[in-house]
Structure 1
Amino acid sequence: MSAVWRASRAAVKRRRLQTFVIGLVVLCSTTTILLGLGLLTAASAPFDKAFAQQRGAHTVASFDLAKASSAELAQTARRPGVAAASGPFGQAVLEMPKDWLWMSAGSLTVVGRAEPDGPVDRIHLLEGRWATAPGEIVVNWPVAGTPGPGRLGTQLKARGAPTLTVVGFATSMSKSAGAWVSPEQMAALHPAAAQMLYRFTDASTEGQLRTDLTTATAELPAGSLTTAQSYLTLKRTFSAQVDAYLPFMTLFGVLGLLVSILIVGNVVSGAVVSGYRHIGVLKSLGFTPNQVVAVYLTMVFVPAVIGCALGTLIGNAVVGPILWVAFSGVETGSASIAISWWPSVLCLVGIPALVVLAALIPAVRAHRLSAAQAITAGSAPRTGRGLRIQRRLSGTRLPRAVSLGLGQPFARPGRSLLTMAAIVLGVTTVTLTTGLTSTMVAYGNAGKGDGAVRIDVQAGSPTKGGTAPKLNDRQIEARLRSLPGADQVTARALTKVSLARSTQTVFANFYRGDSQDLASEIVKGHWPTGAGEAVAGPAFLNQYGLSVGDQITIQLNGRQAPVTIVGELMEGNARALDSNWQTLTRLDPTTDAAEYTVRLAHGADVQSYIKAVKAAGPALRSAPRRSDSTATTTVVSFASVFTVLLTVVAALGVFNTVLLNIRERRRDLGMLKSIGMTPRQVMVMTVSSVAVLGLVGGLLGIPLGIAAHRLVVDHVGVISFPESMKQVWHLPQLAALVLAGVTIAILGALIPARSAARLTIATVLHNE
């Protein structure tokens, strides 16, 4: 084995450039694949793990205690299909004031539980202790980490309810409640509903969950079940934002995998072919055929392992910031957002194995050759269709160097096809990235086409002296409109409302005033113009199975209002809908706006307006709205990184092909130089041999890239792009993309072409 290792090490040292190419190709491929796999697993794996650890409820159901007793509800735990159940727990809805614990005002679902543990929905206590006595409450903290010091002991005063002291913070992956109190405290709240938590033996689909719940509640009085929440809905909410990145991440991962297979196979197979003479020498020295194969596999395995290890490290370093952006603002609960271990292991094991497999096929073929045949296999002059095509092209008006170069791809058609396939995928990637960039830039500029500056004004913030704001809601809006430079003013109230037939609360934005900017974000339907109308983003609509024209019922402060979805926003929070002030008046006419957006007139001085706002009300805080878009920046950056990686890999494939062709045709190059071919003509001939592959690759890759772009933008779950943002292709742009394949081919061919141009006749004769 030591002889095999010494021979392999010598081969690695002798072929430093080719070893470097293999290592770099594997590095780029590993990074690309790891990013795609890592982000793909992060979409659901953290939720599944945390949900399993907490024995999360497959269904959280609420029942009307006026129609079904607690004893009848307890009997449902023993129905067929129920694997485990907890409850019944008393449930009430409290209406919280503005800015309680820095959270939005509105409905808060409170459940009475004696302890956080149980067979279903084991609540994870983050800080403090559990509520065990009247007057105590544990608040659900839905985001990662803890609330921080100083919040325990906070006094909460809900409308029509006794004062409750916060004694702890906890989180539930089942989202079974917004807060928990002791059973004694719940009895004092006189709950009209009770909660049951179920785990079923089969909970794989929404249809199965509905069937299981129907079976479990079949013996209850009709109409006793009021709401039911599926854990699959929670899972979709958890991954709703990261799902926006999955279509193009998955597509880039597939492209990266295909390019890796083509280039690694091409590089390694070419390395084996160019090493036939070395194999013959080894056989003549007494190496067995199996030892020869082992030498060559080890020679390519070493740089593959090094490149794979470095690519894994880079991929793990890059995936962290992307995960942070993808899950920002998502209620992750106790889920730990991190890349799983298995993508790294898969890359570390699978990609070197792929390299070895690509090398094994030609190595086994060389294994059957005798020493004499192996020595002469790579250096014998080649004849055939390549030479015939070169002769035909010599009769055209093309320069002789160009005609010779154009005929070279036909001498090695298999190698040329692999190289062209890599160029096609490279051009596909460039085209896809160009389209995505244009679409995302247009998306980021939506509503800003007028170029006007917008100022966000927060109302109701405490002043340094602790005095209350002197202006009420309507006075603030009027004052903002009257200040010099103001053009339009939009007021917004934010609250939490309950949805009928759902145990979750959602955010509701209610707007008043000028809504031209908001209406510009509608892609289907129209902006709410009357009471009882609302719009939402695609993530919200998909999560609750709604579409434009459907009706839902929202609840706030004990009042209900039917709301019709009259439009779909281009983008929106998965847990938020937008409506107008008329709808808010039906639910709670006392609610005030908390934020105002002011669009300044063209030419207005921004700093002067901000100073005027501060002078108008000490409790008002204003700042210019940031014009950047995190989604746009993330998608464009991510796509650009993938494009650079895959373009480098494709160019390296061309580099390897040209390098192999030059090594195989050293005798021909020496003969051409001996009859007067200049170094410049050698470079032209070499570059021409791959330029035609680049041109054909560009023509084939552009339609594939356009199709991939359409596939991605049509399947982004949280953004609904209008058709104007999808039609981003223009003739000059397409003409430039055609040259992308030629550029990739030329970049890959330049270095070996210069090497061929510098090759002297004496060097060739010496090698022969």
Structure 2
Amino acid sequence: MSAVWRASYAAVRRRRLQTFVIGLVVLCSTTTTLLGLGLLTAASAPFDEAFSRHRGAHAVASFDTAKASPEQLADTARRPGVVAAAGPFGQTVLEMPEDWLWMSAGSLSVVGRADPAGPVDRIRLLEGRWATAPGEIVVNWPVDGTPGPDRLGTRLTARGAPTLTVVGFATSTSKSAGAWVSPEQMDRLAPTTAQMLYRFTDAATEQELRTGLTAATAELPAGSLTTAQSHLTLKRAFSAQADAYLPFMTLFGVLGLLVSVLIVGNVVSSAVVSGHRHVGVLKSLGYTPNQVVAVYLAMVSFPAVIGCAIGTLVGNAAAGPILKAAFSGIETGSASIGIGWWPSAVCLVGMPAMVAVAALIPASRAHRLPAAQALTAGSAPRAGRGLRLQRRLGRSRLARPVSLGLGQPTARPGRSLLTMAAIVLGVATVTLTTGLTSTMVAYGDMRTSEGATRIDIQADTSALRQDAAQPGDGQTERRLLSLPGADRVTARALTKVHLAGYTQTVFADFYRGDTRDLAAEIVKGHWPADVGEAAAGPAFLAQHGLSVGDRVTIRLNGRQAPLTIVGELMEGNAKALAADWQSLTRLDPTVRATEYTVRLAPGADARHYIESVEAADPALRPALGHSDSPATTAVVGFASVFTVLLTSAAALGVFNTVLLTVRERRRDLGMLKSIGMTPRQVMVMTVSSVAALGAIGGLVGIPLGIAAHRLVVDHVGVITFPESMKQVWHLPQLAALVLAGVTIAVLGALAPARSAARLPVSEALHNE
């Protein structure tokens, strides 16, 4: 075995460039694969782990206490299929009149629990202590971190309820409540509903959950069950944004693997072909055929292991910011977002194994090659290969260096096909990225309203309440519109409402004024323009099982209003819906606008307008608006990084091919230079040998990239693109993409071509 290692080590030292190419390609592929696997596991594993650790509820159910007694509810815990249950807990909804603890005004679901422990939904206390006496409340803090201990002691005042002091912050994996109080405090709030938390024997699908909940509540009076929240809905909400990035992350990972297989196979095949004499020498020295194969496998495994190890480190380092972008704005609760250990293990084991398998087929040629033939054959192509095409090209009007170069790929057809396949994947990657960027740019242009400057103005609602002399919303809108430079004004009121049939509260945006910009974001249906109409983004509709035409009921301040979903937005908060202001006046006419959006006329001075707003009303806080979408930034950023990685890998494959060709043709190059070929003509010939492969690769790679683009944009779950934003391909752009294949080929061939041009004639012919 030591002889195999010595020969392998000598081959690695002799073929430093090939070793470097293999290591770099494996590094790039490992990085892309690790990021794809990391996002895949982060989209589900953290939720599952946290749900299991904290005994999350498969179903959070609310019951009407006027129809079902506490004793009847407690008996449901002993029904068939129920593994564990907690409750009944008193439950009510408090109406918060203003923003509190950085949270929006509106409905707050409160549950009375004696302690955070229990057989189901164990609450994780983040800060402070549990509420044990009347007048105390523990607030659910669903995002990462806590607001800090200095926020303990904050006093919350709800409509028609006593003042409550915040004594702790906690989080629930089951999202069972927005806050918790002691049972004694809940009794004083006079709840009309009770909460039960269930874990079932079978709860992997919605059908199994419905079956389990039906069996548990079968003996209760009809109509006593008012709402039921599934843990599967929470899981979908947890991974919705990350899932939107999975299609193209997976696609880039697959492309990276294919490029690695092609280039490694090409490198090893070329090493065997160009090293016939080396194979013969090894066999003549007593190496068995299996040992010769082992030499070549060890030769590629050494850089593969190093490249894989470095790629794993790079992938883990890059995973932090990528996961942060993928889970930005998501209520992670007690789930710890991380890449996990198994993607790294899969890459560390799988990538070297893949390289070894890719090398095994060409290395088997060395196994079959007789020693005598290997010593006498040399490394030149077989006589006559490609001569017919060479003669035809020679009779053409092409310059002789170009005709000689275009005929070279036919001398090594297998090597040329592998090289062209790598270029095809590189062009497909560039095409995919170009399409994604064009789609996202079109989406961003739509959001900027034809380039008009946007001013976002926050209203200080607390100041407005303290000063009755402050103008009403209508007066504020007219004042903002009257200031120099204003073109359109839209008012928005944000509040939390209860959605009938769901335990969690949702955000409701109510709009008034000029909503043309908002209406332009509708991809299905129309913008809500009348009382009882609403619109929502694809994530909200998917997580709540809704579509355009469905009806929902929202509750606020003890009142309720039916809403019909009349439009689907291109993009929207997964926990928010939009409605017309008239719907808000039916629920709470006292709610005031929290934000105004002003579109300035073309050429208006944004800085001057902001100063005018500040001078006109101190309760308004204007700022220059930004239309950047996190999804846009993330998709374009990820795609650009992976494009650089994969096109670099494809160019390295071309580099390796041309380098081997130059080494094999040293004698031919010397003879051509001896009869008058200039260094510049040598470069032209060498570059021409792969330029044709690049052009063909461009023509083949473009349709593959277009198909991949359509696959990705149709599955970005956080955005629904209209057809106009998917049709981004135009003739000049396609022509440029064909040139991308040529560019990849030329860039890869440039360095070996310069080396060939500088080759001294005497050195090339010293053995003749």
TM-score, scaled relative to structure 1: 0.96
> Residue in 2 aligned with 1:452?
452
| 1:298 is the counterpart of 2:291 | no
For 2:555, what is the secondary structure of its paired residue? Answer: strand
Counterpart amino acid of residue 398 in structure 2: L
Which stretch has the larger CA shift, 91-100 or 392-401?
Answer: 392-401
Give the partner amino acid of 2:647. T
Instruction: Provide the residue aligned with 2:85 in structure 1.
Output: 85
* Amino acid aligned to 1:238: F
Q: Does 1:391 align with 2:399?
A: no
One-letter amino acid matched to 1:707? A
Q: CA offset at residue 717 of structure 1? A: 0.6
Tell me how far apart the structure 2 counterparts of residues 713 and 379 of structure 1 sit (CA, whole Å): 48
Q: Which residue of 2 aligns with 1:518?
A: 518
- In 2, distance between residues paired with 1:501 and 1:767? 87
What is the CA distance between 1:257 and its match in structure 2?
Answer: 1.7
Give 2:539's aligned residue. 539
Is 1:133 equivalent to 2:128 in the alignment? no
Amino acid at match of 2:720: S
2:235 is aligned to 235
- Equivalent position SS for 2:470: coil
For 1:31-82, what per-residue CA distance to the aligned partner results, in whole angstroms no more than 9, with x for missing partners? Answer: 1212222222222222111111111111111111122222222222222222
Say what the alpha-carbon RMSD is for the aligned residues.
2.1
Trace 1:643-722 onto structure 2 (pairs within 5 A): 643-722=643-722
Partner SS for 1:215: helix
Specify whether residues 478 and 400 from structure 1 end up closer, same or farther in structure 2 by C-alpha distance, changes over 3 A only. closer
In the alignment, which residue of structure 1 is the partner of 2:204? 204
User: Which residue of the partner structure matches residue 151 of structure 1?
Assistant: 151
Aligned pairs for 1:226-625 within 5 A = 226-460=226-460, 470-625=470-625
> Contact (CA 8 Å) 1:536, 1:568: kept in 2 or not?
yes
Q: Does 1:38 align with 2:44?
A: no
Amino acid of the residue matched to residue 716 of structure 2? V
Measured in 2, the distance between the counterparts of 1:384 and 1:209 equals 72
Q: What is aligned with 2:124?
A: 124
What's the counterpart of residue 12 of structure 1? 12
Residue aligned with 1:245, SS? helix
C-alpha change, 1:220 and 1:467, in structure 2 (3 Å) is: closer
Shift of 1:443: 0.9
Tell me the CA shift for residue 170 of structure 1: 0.5
Q: Is the 8 A contact 2:385 2:410 kept in 1?
A: yes
Deviation of 1:178 (Å)? 0.6
The offset of 1:299, in angstroms, is: 2.1
Identity across matched positions, percent? 80
Partner Cα distance (1:245, 1:388) in 2: 50
8 Å Cα contact 1:34-1:344 kept in structure 2: yes
CA–CA distance in 1 between the matches of 2:400 and 2:605? 67
Q: 2:639 aligns to what? A: 639
Distance between the aligned counterparts of 1:26 and 1:767, measured in 2?
37
Query: For the Cα contact (< 8 Å) 1:651–1:748, is it kept in 2?
Result: yes
C-alpha separation in 2, matches of 1:509 and 1:757: 68
Task: Write the letter of the residue equivalent to 2:37.
Answer: L
Separation in 1, partners of 2:148, 2:316: 29
- Structure 1, residues 735-768: CA drift from partner, whole Å, max 9, x if none? 1111111111111122222223333443334357
Which amino acid counterpart does residue 414 of structure 1 have in structure 2? G
Find the aligned partners of 1:26 and 1:635 in 2 and give their Cα distance. 24
Question: After superposition, what is the alpha-carbon deviation per residue over 1:98-118, rounded to whole angstroms, capped at 9, x for unaligned?
Answer: 012221111111111111111
Instruction: Choose 367-376 or 727-736, whichever is displaced more.
Output: 367-376
Q: Is the CA contact 1:141–1:333 (under 8 Å) kept in the aligned structure 2?
A: yes
Q: Partners in 2 of 1:366 and 1:553 — Cα distance?
A: 74
Whole-Å separation in 1 of the counterparts to 2:716 and 2:469: 43
Q: Deviations over 1:620-670 (max 9, x none)?
A: 211111243332222212111111111111111111122222333334434
- The alignment partner of 1:445 has SS state of helix
**Closer, same or farther: CA 683–72 of 1 in aligned 2, 3 Å:** same
- For residue 273 of structure 2, give the secondary structure of its aligned residue in structure 1: helix
Amino acid in the other structure paired with 1:332: T
How many correspondences in the alignment? 767
The residue type paired with residue 38 of structure 1 is G
SS in 1 for 2:456: strand
CA 1:532–1:461: 2 relative to 1, 3 Å: closer
> Structure 1 residue 504: deviation in Å?
1.0
Segments of structure 2 that go 5 or more residues without pairing to the other structure are none
- Asked if 1 retains the 8 angstrom alpha-carbon contact of 2:449 and 2:517, the reply is no
Cα distance, 1:550 vs. partner?
Answer: 0.9
1:675 to partner: Cα distance:
4.6
The letter for the 2-side match of 1:356 is A
| Contact 1:655-1:748 within 8 A present in 2 as well | yes
Give the match for residue 755 of structure 1: 755
Alignment of 1:61-210 (within 5 A): 61-210=61-210
Shifted more, 297-306 versus 225-234: the winner is: 297-306
User: Take 1:300 and 1:444, find their aligned partners in 2: how far apart are those partners?
Assistant: 46
Kindly provide the amino acid, as one letter, of the partner of residue 457 in structure 1.
I
CA distance in 1, matches of 2:79, 2:462: 55
Aligned position for 1:49:
49
**What SS does structure 1 have at the residue aligned with 2:591?**
coil
Quote the Cα distance in structure 2 between the aligned partners of 1:274 and 1:33: 31
Q: How many Å separate the matches in 1 of 2:439 and 2:480? A: 35
1:480 to 1:380, Cα distance in 2 relative to 1, 3 A: closer
Give CA-to-partner distance per residue, 1:490-546, whole Å, 9 cap, x none: 111110011111111100000111111111111111111110000000111111111
Please say if residues 445 and 451 of structure 2, whose CA atoms lie closer than 8 Å, have aligned partners that are also in contact. no
Following TM superposition, by how much is the alpha carbon of 1:328 offset from its aligned partner in structure 2, in angstroms? 1.5
Give distance in 2, aligned partners of 1:519 and 1:617: 29
Describe the SS at the equivalent of 1:241: helix
| Whole-Å separation in 1 of the counterparts to 2:517 and 2:685 | 58
Measure how far apart 1:462 and its partner are: 6.2
Note closer, same or farther for the CA distance 1:279–1:624 as it changes in structure 2 (3 Å cut).
Answer: same
Q: Which residue does 1:59 correspond to in 2?
A: 59
Which stretch shows the higher mean deviation, 98-107 or 37-46?
37-46
Q: 1:556 to 1:737 in 2, by over 3 A?
A: same
Cα deviations by residue, 1:320-371 (Å, 9 ceiling, x for unpaired): 1121122121111111112122112211111112222222333333134343
* TM-score (norm: length of structure 2): 0.96
Q: Give the C-alpha shift of residue 472 in structure 1.
A: 3.7
- 1:665-692: CA deviations, max 9, x gaps? 3344344445544433333332222222
Which residue type is aligned with residue 406 of structure 2?
Answer: L
- Whole-Å Cα distance in 1 between the matches of residues 467 and 586 of structure 2? 31
Change (3 A) 1:48 1:381: closer
1-structure distance, mates of 2:378, 2:121: 69
Are 1:469 and 1:619, in contact at CA under 8 Å, matched by a contact in 2?
no
Query: How far 1:463 moved relative to its partner?
Result: 7.3
Distance 2:80 2:664 in 1: 74
Indicate how the Cα distance of structure 1 residues 112 and 376 shifts in structure 2: closer, same or farther if over 3 A, else same. farther
Give CA-to-partner distance per residue, 1:183-237, whole Å, 9 cap, x none.
1221222211111111122222112211221222222222111111111111111
Amino acid at match of 2:372: A
Cα pair 1:471 1:617 within 8 Å, conserved: no
Give the Cα separation in 2 of the matches to 1:82 and 1:469. Answer: 59
- CA distance, structure 2, for counterparts of residue 154 and residue 505 of structure 1: 22
